[in-house]
Structure 1
């Protein structure tokens, strides 16, 4: 009787394993092409190289210092960025999320160890005895149960691996958020200094317009000029005066935006140096291929891809049999004193093999879902890399274009100032009408504002370049995201 049963089990086991198999789900073909170089020439010297030269060393090309915001030479900016990195609300949320993913690793690793459970409970029952009379009994039992799953097909190991890659992805996400906060703080501060410079220019121009209006009114009163010239001087005075509160409003809004990044209450923001005293940094970006190891968002996408691939392996392993070993030891008695003094020993030991035969395609569908998640992670990784290349090229193009614009704007500003000086002398000496000086005033003011705006935009473009290059970020010791993603894609 036993041999046919054994033969039936031996026949059913290969059938069960065959039913559990599933065709491989290959990863999508890569469409990513790494460019050989940048379209726009890189700046000749980098700010980190300046700092390193001050320290007596020469960094390798393409290296960006971690505290890159110090390259602008403003201690107040350094203070603001560090406050933002310490107190920003989004970063605090990201740090809490990282603790969650670290706990998920411990949850996954717990499946590698046996599970132990203790149970103690009294039982009171009433039943019909063999002679038809009710019989009441009391029993007390206690036991310790242990269970352990043999990880023959790597399901538990795959779950642990997926949890670790998820944790690495969240670490990179925290670094990417910190880089964004630092860059936004630096950009906001540079914009604030640009607005301060424009406000100072507007106030100085307003004083000049007041003097021009007083002169025009005096010449009208003594009959040297017409009411038209006096009215035009008054209109220009009010136009310049209106620029002052407009700039003050923009400064207040920018200060509030910075306070939000700093996690601070509304209030003024401390300044250091002025806009024109800031150093203009320039970074050596290196080769495009080097960018893949310098941006935390790329590391985040790489580890997310590796986690998705490990989760796919776990989903596929659900189709394979699972083997669980169980054991228990305990004691029972009719009362608690008997349980403590002379109990009846109870024990059991066994094992089970659970293999899915029919589930209406649920496990296969879950594996297919995991495959689509892995495919989306591949597409997301390629998109992040392309975005990194585009942002770096855009920042380099902006620096190059803005630098050339600023050269021309400075030349125009100097020329417009000379035109204003000549026009004012001609008007004062009676050789020209006030319209000539008025036109020169407008041109000079526009040229000054344009030069200041371009200067602020050029500095902000350097921040964008630092952001595009990863801001000096580097993987943690012993962590190499790029090989991890390569290993995931080769599964």
Structure 2
């Protein structure tokens, strides 16, 4: 290696060192976001949380567990989310490969003929104007990551990859909650159908009782007609409940990615979920909620894209080289036919119609948008935790009062039916009112229990449970 070549390499290394010392990109740091008070009434300092519990431990119903597992295996939205991860992974690998020089090879044969008159040689000189050139070579190019352009691109791709993974986990937690909520809705509808059908049987018996009482001149014909109307009032609600059951089954089948059909299930009365609702502290949402993580990774990618936009204002440093064999005759292809060249380039943008400025302003605006979205996602997460906690609290409070209401209304029905038999101070309207109120309370009691179960599921998802 001659002295000039050594000087060239030394100068290039020194130049790269000087340029690399001028750092223009910023290092990412999680933005300061307020988490205090996100749970509204929650002031716990205990870090124990439902989110750390595997979903298999949250549910005791083996049928529900099998449905959730089927959904995790087959749900099309979840499969799409996995494909998004593979896309992001390919982009990440591509950004890593940008650190290495490109290398390409070429082989060519070129035949050309020139005009003898156009060469303007003196008369009498014969020159071969028909030539064939054979060439084979390699060329390479490498851009030094002086200003962090390639590093920012790689970090942005990494953030996008992590974002896609968090998105997949967010789909999973939502899927588990949707399957459980639809399953509990189905059990509640089954219970309401059971209550309504039993009520219908009782009211059919009431009609026969009213007819007997009319024969005994205890009631008149109006009571018989009212008892028949009361029977039909219960009967007409059954098709609507059955329709709701069918639609809920179909919705559950979609979550399981299977054609509409019946769904195997247990009973509402047999359901048992955790009794102690541990929420942890609000700051844990940053690490437990996949959608919050997804939103932060979106901001992180936007942050790195802003770094990338800044790097376009500075010169790019590239090294290119090519070499190979070139000859006019195939027989001399490997004989003194070597050629090569190398070049070092430093390209500084001077005027490009404001593209770089527009790129930077766009990236900065997108970064601020991503930050706003991140903060909004965190606020929504706190809202969902607060709503689920209060929904559970009110459901428990209602169930105690509701059970007493149902007991009182059951006694009211029994008493008015007995009084109707033996006292003229009572008419069938009193019985009718008591029976209607009892049915409404029983159906509402089922809804209270459903609210309690779904509140636990929603709290589990709101805290970030279901993806571990």
| TM-score, with length taken from structure 1 | 0.84
Helix, strand or coil at the partner of 2:320: strand
CA distance in 1, matches of 2:133, 2:42: 87
**Cα shift at 1:294:** 1.3
In the other structure, the counterpart of 2:64 is: 77
- The aligned runs of 1:225-264 (5 Å cut-off) are 225-264=219-258
1:190 lines up with 2:191 in the alignment? no
CA distance in 1, matches of 2:31, 2:162: 25
**Cα shift at 1:436:** 2.1
Helix, strand or coil at the partner of 1:421: helix
CA distance in 1, matches of 2:23, 2:100: 27
Paired residues, number: 439
CA distance in 1, matches of 2:129, 2:348: 44
1:68 lines up with 2:69 in the alignment? no
Say if 1:21 and 1:320, in contact at 8 Å, map to a contact too: no
Helix, strand or coil at the partner of 1:64: helix
Pair 463,23 (structure 1): closer, same or farther in 2 beyond 3 Å: closer
Which residue of 370, 381, 384 corresponds with 1:377?
370
- The aligned runs of 1:324-363 (5 Å cut-off) are 324-339=318-333, 341-342=334-335, 344-363=337-356
1:295 lines up with 2:289 in the alignment? yes
In the other structure, the counterpart of 2:105 is: 118
1:107 lines up with 2:100 in the alignment? no
Q: State the Cα deviation string for residues 229-255 of structure 1 (Å, max 9, x = none).
A: 111011111110111111000000000
Q: State the Cα deviation string for residues 293-324 of structure 1 (Å, max 9, x = none).
A: 21111111111111111111111011111111
Residue ranges of structure 1 left out of the alignment (5+ in a row): 1-12, 44-58, 475-491
Pair 113,28 (structure 1): closer, same or farther in 2 beyond 3 Å: closer
Q: State the Cα deviation string for residues 201-248 of structure 1 (Å, max 9, x = none).
A: 011111001111122233335544211111101111111011111100
Pair 90,351 (structure 1): closer, same or farther in 2 beyond 3 Å: same
**Cα shift at 1:329:** 1.4
Q: CA RMSD in A?
A: 2.7
CA distance in 2, matches of 1:464, 1:332: 73
Say if 1:34 and 1:289, in contact at 8 Å, map to a contact too: yes
Helix, strand or coil at the partner of 2:129: strand
**Cα shift at 1:338:** 3.9
CA distance in 2, matches of 1:424, 1:336: 115
In the other structure, the counterpart of 2:9 is: none
Helix, strand or coil at the partner of 2:98: helix
| TM-score, with length taken from structure 2 | 0.88
CA distance in 2, matches of 1:114, 1:29: 36
Pair 69,40 (structure 1): closer, same or farther in 2 beyond 3 Å: farther
Helix, strand or coil at the partner of 1:112: coil
Q: State the Cα deviation string for residues 249-291 of structure 1 (Å, max 9, x = none).
A: 000000000011110110011102x112211424200121222
Say if 2:71 and 2:256, in contact at 8 Å, map to a contact too: yes
Pair 21,280 (structure 1): closer, same or farther in 2 beyond 3 Å: closer
